[in-house]
Chain A
Amino acid sequence: IFGGITAKIEHFPWQVFFSNPRAGGALIDEYWVLTAAHVVEGNQNPVMYVGSSSVQTSKLLKAQMLTAERVFIHPGWQVLDNTDIRTNFDNDIALVQLKEPVKMGPSVSPICLPGSSSEYSPSVGTLGIISGWGKSELRDIVIKLRAAKLPVAPLAKCQEWKGKDSRVDVSSFVFTHNMICAGGEKGVDSCQGDAGGAFAVQDPNEEDPKYYAAGLMSFGFQCGTYGIYTRVQNYVDWIRKTMQDNGSPSKD
């Protein structure tokens, strides 16, 4: 997280830590974790943890470890042999079904899925919060959870972004309406190691603060500028159907 602050897991109880590759995810149910497809691509048995602000090994031993029963990558995700040259992050979304249900509490609880109405399609300027143990301005990885608040930006801002690094050809990347562009202000952004975590937006229909996962951290060109997030609203039907068809392992 660039431009953020240290946070406690109680601020982001849905935050899931993927240890290898280091990434994030969002708990959406007792048995299901939502993450980016590129996080679990090629890794059918990710090891995950919830409930700890710190990902120091000694702290993780005390946290709840989650074991994957099965990984469901969105069928629209483009499978590549060489992921290093990926320019198409469309449908960067995946579900991890867990073997055992997660016990909820103050440091572990799910984030809501967006509703189907347009109210849950965040407009430009809408603020969202992100969290993760990814790269910061000072360190490639961090031990303590960091968080930041950033606004939704026009997708064009991401498309038109021109960095200093001439090796990055933005125009070669695919941009679709399955993506949300956010950030661009004061260096606040997600970065490597944060992918799969939720871009959480406050539910407009609730008086008390309640967050839904508007986006999932997907990719970007330079940390501290704009970032592209998978638009979760477009996948709610797929998510619900996948969950419904597969149920919970204990019920099978």
Chain B
Amino acid sequence: EPTMYGEILSPNYPQVYPNEIEKSWDIEVPEGYGIHLYFTHLDMELSENCAYDSVQIMSGDVEEGKLCGQRTSKSPNSPVVEEFQVPYNKLRVIFKSDFSNEERFTGFAAYYVAVDVNECTDFADAPCSHFCNNFMGGYFCSCPPEYFLHDDMRNCGVNCSGDVFTTMVGEIASPNYPNPYPENSRCEYQILLEEGFQVVVTMRREDFDVEPADSEGNCPDSLIFVAGDQQFGPYCGSGFPGPLSIETQSNAVGIIFQTDLTGQKKGWKLRYHGDPIPCPKEVTANSIWEPERAKYVYKDVVKISCVDGFEVVEGKVGSTFFYSTCQSNGKWSHSKLKCQPVDCGAPESIPNGKVENPESTLFGSVTHYTCEEKYYAMEDERGGEYRCSANGTWVNEVLGTELPKCVPVCGVPSELLKGVQR
């Protein structure tokens, strides 16, 4: 059981210690305490490096000291002839004698007491991220105002998450900006604008100072923007490394600022504003956009008219135009509708004639009618050619949409009567 103090005496002390003996003592004081070990008597055979007889003080595998010979107190007010102070709560004392003790050495008498360790100062690594408070047998960490102590009871952080910015224009900065930002923190903010507007973030180079990336390019502290499926960053370093203006294409943007334990810098400050989400100006064949603009944004409405001979077909209904609206997601409504050539369909057949099967029945295609020669002829010989017109009908330049007529050829017998007269 750990004790707060104790005595250690060499074998047979204060009589002559025996030959060829080895004995050890494990000293343990409560945790949070160090050990003050002091010798009040030391009378042992002297040898080089205490090779014959010795008392050895070990702290783990580390030898704190090795004693032999005779010692006397250097101070008339103190009986202590040798002492050790360790910040650990365990020590081992090992006594060894060789085969001869001819001069009748009496060994040693030593005492130990538990002494408080100042954890805040006695160790090379600081145990607390901010304030360290030592007490008898231990220590505790504490944090500055507005910080909180993490569950590890060593590190401080700040409660910096949760802010949601909904105004169309705003400014956001890292905690404490322009003073050093808190370590070991994760700040999550959100910019949430109304649908149809995208968040545009602007950052001046000089408004950004975050612990720079390590040799592998990883940012120990980082700023990240998340917009839908897109991520901008992580950014770190002195001076903003990203574009000075980031068009996020989203009305909702998450800002994540993550810091580690070390290297706190000035931080960052950004501005944002909402821009109506633009819709791409799509160049679609055979169509005309009204009104014509260099840029279209959310809620803009355009009338898309098909050029002559083209139409949009929705279901079974054809039309020469349609309206499209720039939507909140940056896409045009009815974007699947396209101007396609008017289809006149298969030309109608006519009695006593035939129509060639045209290669195409689309706008501009040409087909020809013929009559069953030689017994029928076209009533109007200019009525043979029909062209698929813009309104979806086959049109002849003379007859219009009227179909050609094949009329019987009169007065021509298939065989001539000969030799009637004698």
Question: Are A and B interaction partners?
Answer: yes
Most buried by A among B372, B410, B414, B419: B410
Do A10 and B414 form a contact, CB below 8 Å, given A104-B352, A104-B375, A129-B420? yes
A110 CB within 8 Å of chain B:
yes
A186 CB within 8 Å of chain B:
yes
CA–CA, A147 and B415, complex, Å:
13
CA–CA, A210 and B375, complex, Å:
13
B412 CB within 8 Å of chain A:
yes
Do A30 and B412 form a contact, CB below 8 Å, given A105-B375, A109-B375, A129-B420? no
**B-facing mask of A6-19, CB < 8 A → 1, else 0?**
01101111100000
A208 CB within 8 Å of chain B:
yes
Residues of A within 8 A of B408 (CB): 29-30, 104, 109-110
CA–CA, A218 and B421, complex, Å:
22
Do A5 and B420 form a contact, CB below 8 Å, given A104-B376, A106-B375? yes
Residues of B within 8 A of A5 (CB): 419-420
Most buried by A among B352, B372, B411: B411
CA–CA, A5 and B419, complex, Å:
9
Do A212 and B420 form a contact, CB below 8 Å, given A104-B352, A104-B376, A106-B375? no
CA–CA, A8 and B384, complex, Å:
34
Contact of A110 among B351, B410, B421, B422 (CB under 8 A): B410
B51 CB within 8 Å of chain A:
no
A141 CB within 8 Å of chain B:
no
Contact of B420 among A110, A147, A208 (CB under 8 A): A147
Residues of B within 8 A of A4 (CB): 420
A104, closest chain B residue (CB): B375
Asked if residues A28 and B410 are in contact (CB atoms below 8 Å), the reply is: yes
Closest Cβ of chain B to A127, distance in Å, is 8
Asked if residues B409 and A11 are in contact (CB atoms below 8 Å), the reply is: no
B352, closest chain A residue (CB): A104
Residues of B within 8 A of A110 (CB): 408, 410-411
B416, closest chain A residue (CB): A209
Contact of A10 among B411, B415, B421 (CB under 8 A): B415
Residues of B within 8 A of A106 (CB): 375, 414
Interface hits, A183-226 → B, CB 8 Å = 186, 200, 203, 208-212
Residues of B within 8 A of A212 (CB): 410-411
Residues of A within 8 A of B417 (CB): 7, 11-12, 129, 147, 149
Interface hits, A1-46 → B, CB 8 Å = 4-5, 7-8, 10-14, 28-30
A148 CB within 8 Å of chain B:
yes
Interface residues on B, range: 20 to 34
B315 CB within 8 Å of chain A:
no
CA–CA, A7 and B419, complex, Å:
11
Contact of A208 among B376, B412, B421 (CB under 8 A): B412
A112 CB within 8 Å of chain B:
yes
**A-facing mask of B28-42, CB < 8 A → 1, else 0?**
000000000000000
Most buried by B among A10, A104, A149, A203: A104
Asked if residues A148 and B420 are in contact (CB atoms below 8 Å), the reply is: yes
Asked if residues B412 and A109 are in contact (CB atoms below 8 Å), the reply is: yes
CA–CA, A127 and B408, complex, Å:
25
Interface hits, B367-422 → A, CB 8 Å = 372, 375-376, 407-417, 419-422
Interface hits, A110-153 → B, CB 8 Å = 110-113, 129, 147-149
Asked if residues A211 and B420 are in contact (CB atoms below 8 Å), the reply is: no
Closest Cβ of chain B to A242, distance in Å, is 17
Residues of A within 8 A of B352 (CB): 103-104
Most buried by A among B352, B414, B416, B422: B414
Asked if residues A186 and B422 are in contact (CB atoms below 8 Å), the reply is: yes
B421, closest chain A residue (CB): A149
CA–CA, A129 and B418, complex, Å:
11
Residues of A within 8 A of B415 (CB): 8, 10-11
Residues of A within 8 A of B421 (CB): 149
Asked if residues A10 and B420 are in contact (CB atoms below 8 Å), the reply is: no
CA–CA, A186 and B422, complex, Å:
9
Contact of A211 among B372, B411, B414 (CB under 8 A): B411
B372, closest chain A residue (CB): A104
A111, closest chain B residue (CB): B411
A88 CB within 8 Å of chain B:
no
B409, closest chain A residue (CB): A109
CA–CA, A7 and B408, complex, Å:
23
A107 CB within 8 Å of chain B:
yes
Asked if residues A203 and B420 are in contact (CB atoms below 8 Å), the reply is: no
Asked if residues B414 and A149 are in contact (CB atoms below 8 Å), the reply is: no
Residues of B within 8 A of A103 (CB): 352
CA–CA, A81 and B37, complex, Å:
167
Asked if residues B411 and A210 are in contact (CB atoms below 8 Å), the reply is: yes
CA–CA, A107 and B415, complex, Å:
9
A106, closest chain B residue (CB): B414
Residues of B within 8 A of A11 (CB): 413, 415-417
Closest Cβ of chain B to A146, distance in Å, is 10
**A-facing mask of B339-363, CB < 8 A → 1, else 0?**
0000000000001100000000000
Asked if residues B375 and A10 are in contact (CB atoms below 8 Å), the reply is: no
Residues of B within 8 A of A7 (CB): 417
Asked if residues B422 and A149 are in contact (CB atoms below 8 Å), the reply is: no
Known: A10-B413, A10-B415. 15 other contacts (CB 8 A): A4-B420, A10-B414, A11-B415, A11-B416, A30-B407, A104-B352, A106-B414, A107-B414, A109-B410, A109-B412, A109-B413, A112-B411, A149-B420, A208-B412, A210-B412
Which 9 A-B pairs give the minimum distances between C-beta atoms?
A: A112-B411, A104-B375, A112-B410, A106-B414, A149-B420, A10-B415, A11-B417, A210-B411, A211-B411
10 contacts between A and B (CB under 8 A): A10-B414, A11-B415, A11-B417, A13-B413, A101-B351, A107-B414, A109-B410, A147-B417, A147-B420, A148-B420
